[in-house]
Chain A
């Protein structure tokens, strides 16, 4: 799993070597993201399968179409949250630790805001339907909840990076494999949100 980030970061006597080529950790993370992306593809595929097997009215009677305002705000919070990560990663590649710290902290705030917005959406939706109401409810909460869990995991990883970078001696221009891997994961979490926005919030209006 995220153990794929081990290895490839040596201990001593390698300082003279600049990284050449893709590291094993990079490949490990890319493969991990590939399998996770397939997981989401299966979930979203299930959504469309159940929808088209269900019949013309979707969401099923008794549940109103999802409103767009809040999810669009959530999108506006989450998608740009990749930018500080990119900025931070570029910074640490040049050995600028303050950029790493500032960038990660910004993303942390944006990600937490996203989760807070999602929580407020849930409190509202739960009054209307739950995941045991019908298959639509199950899909809605499981897909968005599973993504929310990924955001939470991503935020944990970012906090972990931030903690390591605050300690010092962890990252610099020669060592930033972990930063790069967490960044890949975070971008993935963002991109998946775009697919979820389309599936859950936009597609019922098509």
Chain B
């Protein structure tokens, strides 16, 4: 099936030297600021998202400590309210999606046999914008001006009258700013997966992870505008006196909720979908066979991304909308569990037919199945309006979405970290440390969040900075707090494991697990150009099939080496037929400059320095004009007749 031998070099020594000259980057500050290499950018996404995860996690620990006992005074209500808002906003926007985009950045070009993303400079821009928007939002915390309205920022509490100060301006502008990165990243993933697949990789040979990332990209493209419009209107209402959400002047507060959840529900899948893709990528290596029912799983991915746009009202089941609309959205919300069910049973079938190799990534996948199924079951309950009205906005819903998001996104991410750590860093992790981390995370997670189902049912509302002992919620809250420390310890051990691997880990072979996708067909870590010879793909599991692997060995056609320049292959959308070689851009300062100009723009808007904002906007326009300015060539080359 697979070997751990290095891929046979199909490129000559001269080709390799030329590839190195065109793609190689010498370590320097300049190269650090200008790189457009998808692997470096992806790594940065992973590390930066990890930092935001730590910040949001520490906020959660502070909140759990406050809630360990009734009427505790460790945090003031203002502090608690900013912390829970930053926790949610960061986990959703600055951790989950960027972390998965990090995986996508590193892996999509490797899995489809390309040398980079379709738009490498845009990719670099996306990272800088993500970093700056995250810093923009967190910088408000030391000033006591952090968002304080919950991550869904309902009006009228978030309007100027009820929430003066910069808090919610930071929120709306920060998310608009971040939206640039998310949109750019999504378009990049879609186009990369459509146009840069290795020859022979027709749609039915695209790895499930890539399918998931592309579906995610499409969801972002159609969902994020709703959030952007919402935030733009909020900012205009707050700063410039418009009345979109003001019922006194013809506005409507429920408009915010509709737009927010038209984005917000697809966003749940925007987070979970790529994580499920990781599961589908990890399983083959540790079950020694492909995922059962590839076409069904693809169908499930596609249908989830469509149905997810028709369920948003189930977040508004207690707002008193007409029953008829509730019965419709209740049905749609019920149906959307089916594609997830298909995927779960496809993975179970895969495990039941394969031979299990119980390494840490598989442990996390098993933890994922246990946890995500529980979260899915409570999720199906929320589709029923009557039940939803009882437990929504209580700790039951907090339990539910942590089961879905930790189970459905964090566990797969952790599986992915252990799985691809050898590929990304070129080092193996310590198995024993990894096992300890798994058990602590798994136990900590359930001890923290399982009791929340209970005290939610016992009537404890969410988002309270404290509670009275007389309400009878104290014991279980203490259990949750203890669990949260165990969970934090487990996550700390993950970090220790990663650092240990980088410092002390054994060098990793190209294919330590016997994986099935093209990422395992190249060095660990891959060369800047990924593949000396771009593969010709002959099956869904190219690393497991001889002809696909041999296509990278000696005797490869020179049109797949492309050593004379920074080039990769463009292929057709559906059947992956070779179209032409395309030139890839060189490293550039432009992405950084553009992102800095945008940071200036948003900061100036926040602080009401409007002339500065205008200047920054002009800088953005000029930078773009220079960035896209066509190179000058002789008329004969561009083809001019008159």
| Chain A interface residues toward B at CB < 8 A | 1-15, 17, 19-24, 27-28, 31-32, 34-36, 38-39, 41-43, 46, 49-50, 53-54, 60, 94-98, 131-139, 142, 156, 160, 164, 167-175, 178
Contacts and interface: CB of A to CB of B under 8 A. Distances in A.
A3 B221 contact: no
A138 B245 CA distance: 10
A41 B585 CA distance: 34
A46 B245 CA distance: 11
Nearest to A95: B641
A131 B244 CA distance: 10
B249 A134 contact: yes
A2 B125 CA distance: 12
Contacts of B564: 13
A38 B225 contact: yes
A31 B580 contact: no
Given A21-B579, A138-B251, 20 more contacts: A2-B624, A3-B184, A7-B583, A7-B584, A11-B631, A14-B580, A21-B573, A27-B195, A31-B221, A32-B187, A38-B225, A50-B244, A54-B252, A132-B242, A133-B249, A138-B244, A164-B629, A168-B632, A171-B640, A175-B630
Contact of B638 (A35, A42, A175): A175
B581 A50 contact: no
Nearest to A179: B630
B229 A39 contact: yes
B583 A42 contact: no
A39 B225 contact: yes
A134 B222 contact: no
A164 B630 CA distance: 7
B627 A171 contact: no
B365 to A, nearest CB: 32
Closest 7 CB pairs of A and B: A172-B638, A135-B250, A173-B639, A172-B639, A138-B242, A95-B641, A10-B583
A96 B638 CA distance: 11
Contacts of B244: 46, 50, 135, 138-139
B118 A171 contact: no
A31 B632 contact: no
Contacts of A6: 119, 121-122, 585, 627-628
A49 B252 contact: yes
A1 B236 CA distance: 23
Interface residues of B, number: 77
B580 A134 contact: no
Given A135-B246, A164-B629, A172-B638, A4 B187 contact: yes
A48 B594 CA distance: 36
Contacts of B252: 49-50, 53-54, 135
B628 A2 contact: yes
Contact of A172 (B183, B625, B635): B635
Contacts of B496: none
Contacts, number: 223
B243 A135 contact: yes
Given A13-B564, A34-B222, A28 B250 contact: no
Interface string B223-239: 01110111011001100
B570 A95 contact: no
A133 B243 CA distance: 8
A170 to B, nearest CB: 4
A192 to B, nearest CB: 13
A11 B567 CA distance: 11
B72 interface: no
A14 B369 CA distance: 50
A42 B634 contact: no
B582 A35 contact: no
Interface in B418-460: none
B639 A174 contact: yes
B143 interface: no
A128 B195 CA distance: 52
Contacts of A142: 232-233, 236, 242
A35 B570 contact: no
A9 to B, nearest CB: 7
Given A20-B579, A136-B250, A178-B628, A4 B119 contact: yes
B633 interface: yes
B635 A7 contact: no
Nearest to B634: A169
Contacts of A23: 195, 570
23 contacts: A1-B183, A3-B122, A10-B581, A14-B580, A14-B583, A21-B570, A21-B572, A24-B118, A27-B195, A28-B122, A42-B229, A49-B255, A94-B641, A135-B243, A135-B246, A135-B250, A138-B242, A138-B243, A160-B628, A169-B633, A169-B638, A173-B639, A175-B638
A50 B256 CA distance: 11
Nearest to B637: A15
A20 B195 CA distance: 12
Contacts of B627: 3, 6
A84 to B, nearest CB: 17
Contacts of B249: 133-135
A19 B638 CA distance: 12
A83 to B, nearest CB: 21
Contacts of B259: 42, 46
Nearest to B582: A8
B265 interface: no
B632 A138 contact: no
Question: Which one of B195, B226, B250 has the highest number of Cβ atoms from chain A below 10 Å of its Cβ?
Answer: B250
B180 interface: yes
Nearest to A91: B642
Given A20-B580, A96-B642, A46 B255 contact: yes
A131 B241 CA distance: 8
A17 B122 contact: no
B251 A24 contact: no
B222 to A, nearest CB: 5
A160 B625 contact: yes
Question: Which one of A17, A22, A167 has the highest number of Cβ atoms from chain B below 10 Å of its Cβ?
Answer: A22
Contacts of A49: 252, 255, 258
Given A42-B259, A167-B632, A178-B628, A173 B640 contact: yes
A8 B564 CA distance: 16
Contact of B635 (A1, A20, A36, A168): A168
A53 B243 CA distance: 14
B225 A35 contact: yes
A49 B229 CA distance: 14
Given A34-B221, A134-B249, A169-B638, A3 B628 contact: yes
Nearest to A178: B630
B83 to A, nearest CB: 31
Contact of B632 (A54, A97, A131, A170): A170
Contacts of A7: 118-120, 582-585
Contacts of B631: 9, 11
A35 B642 contact: no
Contacts of B641: 94-96, 173
B593 to A, nearest CB: 12
Nearest to A141: B242
Nearest to B250: A135
A22 B195 contact: yes
Contacts of B582: 7-8, 10, 24
